[in-house]
C-alpha cells in the first residue's frame, strides 16, 4: 500500500488480518486514508465492531463463499442462516448442508414485521420447516424475528444458548436480509469487545472473516453477505430498492381476474392469467410498488409504450440495464393452495382451488417458482 511520509506502513488489518485497501468501502479491508495513521491499524469493519458494536455489510459472490463453508464442515459449529421471510426462496443459502457437514442449522427468519398484521405465527414456522426440509437442511430450530424492530431477539439468544453447546457460531446470509443488523444485536447481547478481534483466514480463499469474541473463549463468526443474482434486489438501482423492499407491513391487494388478463409490477415483471375460470389473486408486494392491470392482448403494447414512465421502476434510463425478460409458464393444479413467487418482488397467492395456467415474465435469471402458499 502506498504510504505518506511518517505514515504507518501496515498492509493488513491488525484486527482481522485482511489486506487493507483505501478505494472501495463496500469491499473487505477498506480503511479511509486518514485512518492509516492510527494505532492499531484496523479496517473500517473491525473499527465499527470494536468501537460501535456494529458490523458492516460486506458482500461476496456465492462461489467464494462456498469455499469457506467447506472448512466449516471440519469444525464443531452452530450455523445460523438468516433468511428474509419476504424473499425466502431467494435468500436461503442453497446447498448449505452439503458444505457444513453434520453441523446443526438454526434458521433465523427475519423481517416478520413485514407480514400482514394478525398472522398465525405457528403456521409460518410450519411452512418454513417444510421448505427447509425440501432444501435438505438439518434445522434444529426456527426463530421468527425482526432485527430492525427488535422483535423476537430474546428468543434468538435463547435458541443459540440452547444449541451452541460451547461451539463457535457462524452467521450466514444473502445480501439485504438484515444479517448485519442481527449481528449487531448479537454483539450487544453476547460479546465482550474488550477482547481482541481475531483473524479467521482459510487456505485456498481470499476471504478473511471477523471473529467476535464470546465470554467462553468461542466466537461469533461474521461472514460477508452472499450475492445471489437470481434476486431482483441485486439488479435494481439503490434508489429502486426502496420501492421493491417493503419497510412496513404489506397491505395485500386482491385482483379478480378473467382469463387473458395481465398484471404489471412496475416494469420489473408481468403476471399473465392465460386460462382458467374467473378467480381472485392476492398480491403480496411492497406497498410502494405500483401494479397495473390490462388485457393480455394489450400487454405487449402497454410495455412498449409505457415501460420506464407509467410502468416504474425502473426509470426509462435504467431499463436497458436489466436483462431481457424470459417467460415462465406455470400450471396450478386443481385443489392446491399455491403462491407464485418472484424473488425480490414478492408473491401472488392463487386464492381458488380451480386450477389455472399462468405465465410470468421477469428478467432472465430471476427466480420464479410455484410453491405452497405461505399465507
All structural domains of the chain:
59-228 (3.40.50.300), 238-372 (no CATH)
Which of 80-84, 148-152, 167-171 shows the lowest mean pLDDT across its residues?
148-152
Q: What angle do CA 319, 321, 324 make, to 5 degrees?
A: 75
- Set of cell numbers at residue 240: 429502486
What's the rounded Cα separation, in Å, for the pair 337 and 335? 7
Residues 185/153, Cβ–Cβ less than 8 Å? yes
Residue 341, Ramachandran bin (φ over 0: left; ψ between -120 and 50: alpha; else beta):
beta
Cβ count near 268 (within 10 Å) = 29
Q: What is the pLDDT of residue 287?
A: 96
Q: What is the pLDDT of residue 296?
A: 98
Q: What angle do CA 269, 253, 150 make, to 5 degrees?
A: 95
Under the banding of pLDDT at 50, 70 and 90, the label for residue 237 is confident
Examine the pLDDT at 254 and tell me if it is beyond 90: yes
What's the rounded Cα separation, in Å, for the pair 268 and 312? 8
Examine the pLDDT at 79 and tell me if it is beyond 80: yes
Which of 202-211, 259-268, 318-327 shows the lowest mean pLDDT across its residues?
202-211
Examine the pLDDT at 321 and tell me if it is beyond 70: yes
Residue 69: φ, ψ to 5°: -60, -30
Portion of the chain with pLDDT greater than 90, in percent: 50
Place of cell 405500483: 290
- Set of cell numbers at residue 165: 453447546
Examine the pLDDT at 100 and tell me if it is beyond 60: yes
What three-state secondary structure class fits 362? Answer: strand
What's the rounded Cα separation, in Å, for the pair 334 and 355? 4
Q: What is the pLDDT of residue 54?
A: 56
Between the alpha carbon of residue 264 and those of residues 71, 94, 146, 219, 303, the distances in Å are: 44, 29, 30, 47, 9
pTM: 0.81
Return the biggest CA–CA distance within the chain.
77
Which of 51-55, 75-79, 347-351 shows the lowest mean pLDDT across its residues?
51-55
Q: What is the pLDDT of residue 9?
A: 52
Q: What is the pLDDT of residue 327?
A: 97
Average pLDDT, the chain: 85
DSSP class of 247: S
Higher-pLDDT residue of 207, 84: 84
Under the banding of pLDDT at 50, 70 and 90, the label for residue 59 is low
Residues 91/174, Cβ–Cβ less than 8 Å? yes
Under the banding of pLDDT at 50, 70 and 90, the label for residue 213 is confident
What three-state secondary structure class fits 243? Answer: helix
Place of cell 401472488: 348
> 144-175 as b/e, with b when 16 or more CB fall inside 10 Å?
bbbbeeeebbeebeebbeebbeebbbbbbbbb
For the chain, counts of helices (H) and of strands (E): 10, 19
What's the rounded Cα separation, in Å, for the pair 359 and 343? 15
Residues 335/343, Cβ–Cβ less than 8 Å? no
Q: What is the pLDDT of residue 2?
A: 38
Read off the pLDDT of each residue in 95-108 and give the average, rounded to a whole number.
88
Amino acid at each position: 500500500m502506498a504510504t505518506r511520509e511518517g505514515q504507518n506502513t501496515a498492509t493488513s488489518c491488525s484486527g482481522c488480518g485482511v489486506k487493507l485497501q483505501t478505494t472501495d468501502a463496500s469491499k473487505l479491508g477498506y480503511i479511509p486514508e486518514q485512518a492509516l495513521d492510527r494505532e492499531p491499524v484496523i479496517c473500517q469493519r473491525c473499527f465499527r465492531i470494536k468501537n460501535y458494536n456494529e458490523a458492516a455489510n460486506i458482500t461476496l459472490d456465492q462461489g467464494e463463499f462456498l469455499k469457506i463453508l467447506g472448512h466449516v464442515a471440519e469444525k464443531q459449529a452452530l450455523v445460523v442462516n438468516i433468511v428474509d421471510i419476504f424473499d425466502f426462496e431467494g435468500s436461503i443459502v442453497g446447498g448449505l448442508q452439503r458444505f457444513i457437514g453434520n453441523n446443526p442449522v438454526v434458521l433465523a427468519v427475519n423481517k416478520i414485521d413485514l407480514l400482514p398484521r394478525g398472522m398465525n405465527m405457528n403456521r409460518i414456522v410450519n411452512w418454513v420447516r417444510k421448505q427447509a426440509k425440501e432444501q435438505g437442511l438439518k434445522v434444529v430450530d426456527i426463530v421468527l424475528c425482526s432485527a430492525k424492530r427488535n422483535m423476537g431477539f430474546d428468543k434468538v439468544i435463547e435458541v443459540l444458548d440452547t444449541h451452541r453447546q460451547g461451539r463457535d457460531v457462524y452467521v450466514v446470509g444473502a445480501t439485504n436480509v438484515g444479517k448485519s443488523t442481527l449481528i449487531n444485536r448479537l454483539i450487544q447481547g453476547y460479546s465482550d469487545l474488550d477482547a481482541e478481534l481475531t483473524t479467521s483466514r482459510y487456505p485456498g480463499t481470499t476471504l478473511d472473516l471477523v471473529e467476535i469474541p464470546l465470554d467462553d473463549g468461542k466466537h461469533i463468526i461474521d461472514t460477508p453477505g452472499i450475492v445471489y443474482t437470481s434476486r431482483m434486489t441485486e439488479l435494481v438501482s439503490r434508489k429502486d430498492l426502496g420501492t421493491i423492499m417493503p419497510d412496513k407491513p404489506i397491505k395485500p391487494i386482491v385482483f379478480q381476474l378473467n382469463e387473458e388478463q395481465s398484471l404489471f409490477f412496475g416494469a420489473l415483471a408481468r403476471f399473465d392469467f392465460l386460462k382458467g375460470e374467473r378467480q381472485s389473486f392476492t398480491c403480496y408486494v411492497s406497498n410502494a410498488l405500483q401494479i397495473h392491470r390490462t388485457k393480455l392482448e394489450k400487454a405487449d403494447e402497454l410495455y412498449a409504450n409505457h415501460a420506464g414512465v407509467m410502468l416504474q421502476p425502473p426509470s426509462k434510463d435504467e431499463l436497458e440495464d436489466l436483462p431481457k425478460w424470459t417467460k415462465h409458464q406455470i400450471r396450478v393444479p386443481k385443489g392446491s393452495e399455491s403462491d407464485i413467487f418472484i424473488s425480490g418482488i414478492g408473491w401472488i397467492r392463487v386464492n381458488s382451488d380451480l386450477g389455472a395456467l399462468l405465465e410470468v415474465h421477469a428478467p432472465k435469471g430471476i427466480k420464479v417458482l410455484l410453491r405452497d402458499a405461505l399465507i
